[in-house]
Amino acid sequence: MTDEQPDTAALDGSTGTAELEDTENPWLRLHPDVLKVSAIFILGAMIAAGVPTAIGIASGTSWPIALAWVVPGAALVIGAVVLSEVIRLRTTRYRVTGLRVEMTSGIWFKRRRSLARERIRSVDLAANPIERIFGLTKVKVGTGETGGGTDSTTEQTLTLDSVHKTEADRLRAELLRRNAVGAGTEVGPDGGQRLATWEPGWLKYAPLSFLTPMLAGVVIGAVFQVADWFGRGGLPVEIVGDMIEEYGAWTALVVGLVAFLIIGAAGSLLLQGEAWWNHRLDREPGGTLRVQRGLMTLRSLSLEEKRIRGIELVEPLGVRAAGAGRLDVVAIGLKTDQEGSDLSTLVPAAPLDTTRAAAEAVIGPIATDLAPHPKTALTRRLRWAAIAVVVLVAAAVTCHLLWSLPALLSAAIILAAGGSSVFAVWTAFDAYKSLGHARTRRHLVSRRGSTRRATVHLDRSGIIGWRITQSVFQKRMGLMTLDATTAAGKGHYAVIDADEHEILDFADDAVPDLLRPFLIREGD
């Protein structure tokens, strides 16, 4: 039961005296170079926004008029931002005492934030390229508490934006030092234990992620958008038309598709390369995992191992085909259901052996044989696939009946419908092959999914309830879905479409005594 008091209190004017009394823990300021970083940043933003605006206005009127509008406007914005930054820098103070981390800011609205040091669960650092030039780093201190109730999401964080790199490292070390005494024995030269080290070769998995088709789509959208800005919204269509006339429809289609996929792959490579360059996963003395990574923006994420309730081995289709997978952590206070969030990723897509080794280093042995699910689970998946095929075929037929289509479009529709149908049926078999569950000494293991195959190893002591569901269709097939609820990660992890009797024994076995009173067994 957490019984927490709000840690933020209004400034009561007593800081003045506190400052005089407390010479041990003086109030500190943010680094003055923050002003330069902010100024450069806003200058860059103004140039990026101002130049196209000026060109736009100038094309309608003339350059002097355009500059007369844009330059003072930009100057005004820059001035306002710099002024507010000066005020922020002057009024923000922070200090670390024996029990708390405190920060005060603001002049009109004084804000004081204070976190109890024993509750601090993470100290994350981030430095973007401009900050790196000046040796600055943002520090985000979090208690990782996300109240259990629906209305009390009370994650408390305190962000120092920014301090000098050495000060950031000092803060991180000091705030996470707490349990350092008597920790791990295999201590490396830097006081930590290396669990995984990134290799440039891992970059080859980046284009295989779902980011590639997504970015390709974004690029196509962007082309139309830019054409539209210049009043030539129809231009891309005309170009495509010309290409079809010149090279033939199929060549144009295939070349276009390949070109966009290459662009998407390159984009994916850049994004993931930037995010994961020089990635390291370490275990630090004191029971903390630390992920460091980044090419332009350096990131350092720390996670208290006490919060870890398991791991998830994620193998998206493309990455899986290449024999790779990524390692996510299931931890309290780390929401993993947010789309595109990579905060919970410990190891990016890497050869499966490496990922597994890292997983074992984090939570112990993971090797286990998974129990397959009943054949009826395959029947169920094939039925879904059949429905998908019927819908696709019906759609394709309807298109042909309603309109007389040109040969190319007709062929494209048939090809798309046929391809999707094959994929749907293949997915049914593959998804069934993925299904499996097991119980190990410490964990409940469940694997599922085809396009995103994921194997979760959930700490059995972290299971805080069951949610068992059975639809009428499942009942007829003797299937049942077992959902283990937990305070960590997504909040619940499921074993889907298992045998309706066996899964109850499994659940009873996984968390002793919880389900027992509600079960009827033979001979009872």
Partner 1 sequence: MSPSTTTLRPPRNRFDPRAKSWWRWQEIITTAVLVVPLAVLGILIAPARPWLLGPAAVILLIGLVSALVSPVWKHRVHRWEVTDTAVYALTGYFWRTWRIAPMSRIQTVDTTQGPLQRSFGLSTVVVTTASSAGAVKLEGLDHDEASALAARLTELTDATPGDAT
List of residues contacting partner 1 (CB under 8 A): 1-2, 148-150, 332, 462, 464-472, 475, 483, 485-488, 491-492, 499-502, 504-505, 508, 513-515, 517-522
* Nearest distance from C-beta of residue 147 to partner 1, angstroms: 8
279 versus 437: smaller Cβ distance to partner 1? 437
191 versus 372: smaller Cβ distance to partner 1? 372
* Nearest distance from C-beta of residue 119 to partner 1, angstroms: 12
* Nearest distance from C-beta of residue 101 to partner 1, angstroms: 22
* Nearest distance from C-beta of residue 287 to partner 1, angstroms: 16
403 versus 518: smaller Cβ distance to partner 1? 518
CB atoms within 10 A of CB 266: 16
Query: CA 163 to CA 477: how far, in whole Å?
Result: 61
* 288 touches 303 (CB < 8 A): yes
CB atoms within 10 A of CB 11: 13
* Nearest distance from C-beta of residue 513 to partner 1, angstroms: 7
203 versus 332: smaller Cβ distance to partner 1? 332
User: CA torsion sign, 503 to 507 to 508 to 510?
Assistant: positive
169 versus 502: smaller Cβ distance to partner 1? 502
Beta-carbon contacts of residue 79 (< 8 Å; ≥ 6 apart): none
- Torsion, Cα of 169, 170, 172, 177 (10° steps): 130
Query: CA 473 to CA 169: how far, in whole Å?
Result: 57
2 versus 23: smaller Cβ distance to partner 1? 2
* 493 touches 368 (CB < 8 A): no
> Tokens 């299931």 map to which residue?
330
Q: Is the peptide bond before 268 cis (omega within 30 degrees of 0)?
A: no
* 142 touches 157 (CB < 8 A): yes
Distance linking the first and last C-alpha atoms of the chain: 36
341 versus 471: smaller Cβ distance to partner 1? 471
* Nearest distance from C-beta of residue 451 to partner 1, angstroms: 23
* Nearest distance from C-beta of residue 469 to partner 1, angstroms: 5
Beta-carbon contacts of residue 231 (< 8 Å; ≥ 6 apart): none
- Structure-token pair, residue 135: 């040796």
* Nearest distance from C-beta of residue 468 to partner 1, angstroms: 4
Angle at which helices 235-247 and 249-276 pack, to 10 degrees?
120
86 versus 464: smaller Cβ distance to partner 1? 464
Long-range contact list for 396-402, CB < 8 A, 24+ apart?
none
* Nearest distance from C-beta of residue 293 to partner 1, angstroms: 28
DSSP string, 151-166: S-----EEEEEEEEHH
- Structure-token pair, residue 375: 């054949």
* 425 touches 385 (CB < 8 A): yes
* Nearest distance from C-beta of residue 3 to partner 1, angstroms: 10
* Nearest distance from C-beta of residue 509 to partner 1, angstroms: 11
DSSP at 195: E
- Which of 344, 354, 358, 210 lies closest to 272 in space, CA to CA? 210
- Structure-token pair, residue 86: 């000066």
Task: Tell me the residue type at 68.
Answer: A
* Nearest distance from C-beta of residue 433 to partner 1, angstroms: 22
174 versus 505: smaller Cβ distance to partner 1? 505
* Nearest distance from C-beta of residue 127 to partner 1, angstroms: 32
167 versus 483: smaller Cβ distance to partner 1? 483
192 versus 462: smaller Cβ distance to partner 1? 462
Query: CA 455 to CA 328: how far, in whole Å?
Result: 10
* 301 touches 122 (CB < 8 A): yes
* 40 touches 47 (CB < 8 A): no
Give SS3 for 314.
strand
141 versus 488: smaller Cβ distance to partner 1? 488
131 versus 483: smaller Cβ distance to partner 1? 483
List Cα–Cα distances, 52 to 2, 55, 242, in angstroms.
Answer: 54, 5, 30
